[in-house]
Amino acid sequence: MPRNSADLLIVGASEVLTLGGASHRPRTGAEMNELGIIKDGVVAIKGGLICDIGSLQKIYDKWSAPGIIHAEGRVVMPGFVDCHTHAVFAGSREIDFIKKIVRKSGREISAVPAYLEILKGGGGILETVAKTREASEERLMIYAAFWLNNMLKYGTTTVEIKSGYGLSFEDELKILFAIKKLRGSKMDIVSTFLGAHAFPPEKSREAYLKEIIDHMIPHIHVHELAKYCDVFCEAGAFSVEEAEKIIEIARVWGLKIKLHAGEFNDLGAVELGVKYGAVSIDHLDHISDSAILAMAEAETIGVLLPAVPFHLMTGHYAPARKMIDAGVPIALATDFNPGSAPTFSMQMVIALACRQMQMTPAEAITASTINAAHAIGMEEKVGSLEIGKQADIIILDIDNYLQLPYWFGGNLAREVIKKGVIVS
């Protein structure tokens, strides 16, 4: 019998992690340890999609292809989905980083402000805002393309990007238009409006809130610039009451809801997100037991960002173990940004999740692929290796998946494939 013709076969893997069977809803609880491993598996790709997947005997006898990748005993898995980043910005904030080191060392404690105090004093986010406002849309795209290329090299094939470093009608739209144009790059990009990131120094709280509600959100809808609306609900940023006003209008204009909540304080934003059907609530380093139960009942995805407490040296990580055991669907992301998480490596995030939040390697992989895809509405296309899905695949220089968080600090991605094409 003649074999079917594919474009590319990946053969010789020690393990193929399919993460299959969870495209209808994110994995929770014990399901997060189910990776759908095929030993000595083969992936067949045609037209940028997975056309078959299974054991060597089943697939190799059925398919031929002009292109063959020999995985040579390595792990093959879905590309990482980084479902929370701020990848369009200008400048860097290494001075803030040094200040935190000095503060952590116990020297000049009274003179060195913490993260929220830096923001209150006009630094932090506002420092990045000033540099981003100065940059043209074209310049921002050049910077972002550089970061996205680095993410791709480390195995991220789908990414969410938030605005939030403009804090004015003109500059927020500049960022969102840049993100829209970047969608033609090698990666799938999902856009989120985060004009409610901080309050600009030149406007009153009331005036800026009105600008977001009356001008930014309607304009974003008309030009299809974002899929989600996010709010940084935190002391020194937006209150729960202010966040609710924004969420109500965003929903009217057809935007889905996300929230930054519990990064430094538990203000009740989790309950607000659950009330309004947020797709995800992110950070959650500070979250009450009752809020965990509310998220589990509502099946709201908790996007955890362990690179933030690591970089800020707070030592206070999200209670991932408690959340998973309660049934909250968990995703992981880098939170890539110049202030609190200057990392583009989902591999490092997985290493931190296992070490600092006691997630198992399988849970961390699930949280970085199919669950993260659910967090940005991409679960039907990416996040798992299944027939009909995009051939977004990484081949890792390890012989079993347990080694992914074990070897940390480097890049284990040997080859990165996006829609059936080797891109790194």
339 labelled binding-site residue:
yes
Q: Which of 151, 157, 148 is nearest to 345 (CA)?
A: 151
pLDDT tens digit string along 390-404?
A: 999 999 999 999 999
Rounded Cα distance, 138 and 124, in Å: 24
Residue 310 has pLDDT above 60, yes or no: yes
Q: Is 4 labelled as part of a ligand binding site?
A: no
Q: Does the pLDDT at position 185 exceed 90?
A: no
Tell me: is residue 276 an annotated ligand-binding position.
no
Of 98, 89, 228, 93, residue with least CA distance to 167: 89
The packing angle between helices 361-368 and 346-356, to 10°, is 140
Tell me whether strands 156-162 and 8-11 are parallel, antiparallel or unpaired.
unpaired
pLDDT (average), residues 187-197: 98
Q: Which domains does the chain have, with CATH numbers?
A: 4-78+383-422 (2.30.40.10), 82-375 (3.20.20.140)
337 annotated to bind ligand:
yes
- pTM (2 decimals)? 0.95
To the question of whether residue 263 is assigned a binding role by annotation, the answer is: yes
- Summarised one tens digit per residue, pLDDT across range 338-370 is 999 999 999 999 999 999 999 999 999 999 999
**165 annotated to bind ligand:** yes
Q: Find all residues with CB under 8 Å of 386, minimum gap 6, and list them.
A: 18, 20, 21, 23, 50, 53
Structure tokens of 406? 């074990």
Q: What is the pLDDT of residues 168-183, one digit of tens each?
A: 999 999 999 999 999 8
Q: What is the mean pLDDT of the chain?
A: 94
- Three-class SS of the chain: CCCEECCEEEECCCEEECCCCCCCCCCCHHHHHCCCEEECEEEEEECCEEEEEEEHHHHHCCEECCEEEECCCCEEEECEEECCECCCCCCCCHHHHHHHHHHHCCCCHHHCCCHHHHHHCCCCHHHHHHHHHHCCHHHHHHHHHHHHHHHHHCCEEEEEEECCCCCCHHHHHHHHHHHHHHCCCCCEEEEEEEEECCCCCCCCHHHHHHHHHHHHHHHHHHCCCCCEEEEEECCCCECHHHHHHHHHHHHHCCCEEEEEECCCCCCCHHHHHHHCCCCEEEECCCCCHHHHHHHHHHCCEEEECCHHHHHHCCCCCCCHHHHHHHCCCEEECCCEECCCECCCCHHHHHHHHHHHCCCCHHHHHHHHCHHHHHHCCCCCCCCCCCCCCECCEEEECCCCCCHHHHCCCCCCEEEEEECCEECC
The pLDDT-based confidence of 112 (bands split at 50, 70, 90) is very low
The answer to whether 93 is a known ligand-binding residue is: yes
Length of the chain: 424
| 195 assigned binding-site residue | no
Consult the annotation and say whether 149 binds a ligand.
no
Is the pLDDT at 108 greater than 50? The verdict is no
Strand order in the sheet with 413-418: 37-39, 15-17, 75-78, 393-396, 413-418, 421-422
Residue 2 has pLDDT above 70, yes or no: no
Pairing of strands 156-162, 41-46: unpaired
Cβ–Cβ contacts within 10 Å for residue 237, how many?
21
Provide the pLDDT for residue 111.
Answer: 35
What pLDDT, on the 0 to 100 scale, is given for residue 58? 87
Look at residue 120 in the predicted model and tell me its pLDDT.
Answer: 59
Please state, in angstroms and rounded to a whole number, the distance separating the CA atoms of residues 176 and 128: 16
Q: Annotated binding residue at 105?
A: no
* 184: confidence class by pLDDT, cuts 50, 70, 90: confident
Answer yes or no: is 283 a known binding residue.
Answer: no
